[in-house]
Structure 1
Amino acid sequence: MFDIRVICDPADIDRISRALAAAFDTGSARQYPSRDGKRRRLYVTADHRPEPEAWPTPEEAYTLALSIVSEIGWTARTAADRPFYGGLNREFWLRKAALLDRIALSDEADSVTSDAADLASRAGQRLMELDDTAVICDPRHYVRQQYAHWAKNQ
């Protein structure tokens, strides 16, 4: 655990606090006027974030997955039940993103040119937005990690 001191303009306090919270596990910032009276002193108690888990390989992530054909059927049926994607839950977006990732992986292995990789990345980004995650990574890696966790708990 360590302390961070920042002297900044009052207009920058929120931006700096968010940046520190994104980089470290922080407590609340304590604020005091600076000696010149124009700026603020921020004191933040911080600690390193735990090391993130290694990203699972596609093989590890999709070991327990149903066949691609079964997942296409499930995704299509689920989407048809809710037109315009209204009310679709996290499981839908996770399974759709994983399905698209698996199709993209298959295309890449067969040297097929398609837009599957782009669609898989966009679906992964949608899942990350839905999860409101602060993780910065390749969306497809995030999908694999989340799918592996989900599949183990099914």
Structure 2
Amino acid sequence: MFEIRVICEPGDTDRITTVLREAFATGAVRQSYTRDRARHRLYVTADHRPEPVAWPAPQQAYALAPSIISEIGWTADRARRHLNGSAVDREYWLRKGALLDRMALDDETARIHSDVPAVALGAALRLLEIDCNGSGKYSGDPYWPEHPAAIADPRGYVRQEYAAWAKHQ
């Protein structure tokens, strides 16, 4: 743990505080004026952020998953129900995102160039949107939907959430 002292113009206080919070695990920011009262002094107790935790490997995340063919059938059935007026819920987007992620991983392994990775990303983003809006119950372990790591790798977020969901099925 360490303490950071910054002397800055009053208009820069919020921006500097935000940058420090993004870079470090920080405590409360204490603020006072410099002797000439023209600038601010910021004092903040900080520590290094813990090392990021890796996403579950696809083999781990999808260890309990049904076959891809079975998931295609389940997803198609849910999509058909949606056309008949049923709501599409978080489970649909979770399973569709996982299905498309698995298909994209297969294409990448086989070095097949297709649009499946882009479609998988779209489904993962939809799941993130649902979870960010509080419409679904996500595990958030280790990353919650608003976390920069989840935003940077939505397909990794799908793997995390699918692995947690599959354990309870």
**Mean CA deviation greater in 74-83 or 22-31:** 74-83
Tell whether 2:153 aligns with 1:138: yes
Secondary structure of the 2:96 match is: helix
Partner Cα separation in structure 2 for residue 88 and residue 41 of structure 1:
52
Contact 1:22 1:134 in 2 (8 A): no
TM superposition shift of 1:57? 1.9
Partner Cα separation in structure 2 for residue 116 and residue 57 of structure 1:
19
TM superposition shift of 1:40? 1.5
Structure 1 unaligned segments of length 5 or more: list them. none
Aligned to 1:3: 3
Aligned to 1:149: 164
TM superposition shift of 1:88? 4.8
**Paired-residue identity, %:** 58
Secondary structure of the 2:63 match is: coil
Aligned to 2:62: 62
One-letter identity of the residue aligned with 2:148: A
TM superposition shift of 1:79? 4.3
Tell whether 2:123 aligns with 1:112: no
Query: What is the count of residue pairs matched by the alignment?
Result: 152
Q: TM-score, normalised by structure 2?
A: 0.72
Partner Cα separation in structure 2 for residue 6 and residue 91 of structure 1:
47
Secondary structure of the 1:127 match is: helix
Partner Cα separation in structure 2 for residue 153 and residue 17 of structure 1:
40
Indicate how the Cα distance of structure 1 residues 109 and 40 shifts in structure 2: closer, same or farther if over 3 A, else same: same
**Mean CA deviation greater in 98-107 or 15-24:** 15-24
Secondary structure of the 1:45 match is: strand
Aligned to 2:96: 96
C-alpha root-mean-square deviation of aligned residues, in Å?
2.6
Partner Cα separation in structure 1 for residue 19 and residue 75 of structure 2:
38
